[in-house]
Amino acid sequence: MFISALIASFFVKEEKFNRSGKRSSIREDLSQAVHNRTFITLLLLVGLSTFSVMILEPLLTIYMTQLGGEQSDASLQAGIVFSAVGIATLIAAPQWGKIGQRIGFIKVLVIGLAGGGIGNLLQYFVGHYTEFGALRFVYGLFFAGVYPALNAMIVRVTAPAFRGRAFSLSQSSTQLATMLGPVLGGLLSGWIPIRWVFVLNGVMLLCSAVLLFRKRHLDRPEPGAVGEGAA
């Protein structure tokens, strides 16, 4: 965090910042946001995407032991498997950004959610932790398209004057999902086998992809944007 602070202080230059401008309240920001259904949909998808990742976080170490991993090395193996998604994201996310500029970010979002859903469902069938790690990597290649597409679409539907507040609301959605995901994941694993948590997670993502596919018009710019009195 200290290194990040140094980078932001010395290398990030902010231009055209009006320090004397009026500051809106959280209530006013929410009031502007709720008048744009597209933006609210994106906030829900941001939260759902984060929730789908975090619901599995407390279960990976336990699941690794169930798949034959040594209990003494389960934490390390779970860390490697969890990192596989990050490596896949590092590789695939820039490519998804380029693809989104060509075919539209709504299509990338549908592909990412559908790929993530299928990847979760397939994790029900794995029998060894190496298979699990490989499948998590492939899942990450698809799911890597979700966040770039969401961020690009938030930019499209928000006015420059509101954009900082829009991403603040997006971050709030992310943090709420980060809090709820591990708690619900832990609760579910006490009621049902961990394999079925992957199934529920996959079904949730697939349903989101189907519903989003039916709302393909979201990729078309609206007459106005949040922050300019249009919705």
Residue 137 falls inside a structural domain: yes
Q: What pTM, to 2 d.p., does this model score?
A: 0.81
Burial class (CB in 10 A: 0-12, 13-18, 19+), 38: buried
Are 227 and 168 in contact by the 8 Å Cβ rule? The answer is no
Residue 5 falls inside a structural domain: no
> How far apart (Å, rounded) are the C-alpha atoms in residues 211 and 213?
5
**Would you give per-residue pLDDT tens digits along the chain (231 residues)?**
999 999 999 998 877 666 666 666 677 777 777 777 888 889 999 999 999 989 988 888 888 888 776 666 777 877 888 788 889 999 999 999 899 889 888 999 999 999 999 999 998 888 887 888 889 999 999 999 999 999 999 988 888 878 888 888 899 999 999 999 999 998 988 898 888 999 999 999 999 999 888 776 555 554 445 454 443
State the Rg of the chain over Cα: 19
Tokens describing residue 117: 């859903």
How many other C-beta atoms are found inside a 10 Å radius of the C-beta of residue 146?
29
Q: At what angle do helices 74-103 and 105-122 cross, to 10 degrees?
A: 150
Residue 205 falls inside a structural domain: yes
Give the range of the structural domain holding residue 131, as residue numbers without chain letter.
26-219
Residue 6 falls inside a structural domain: no
Domain count within the chain: 1
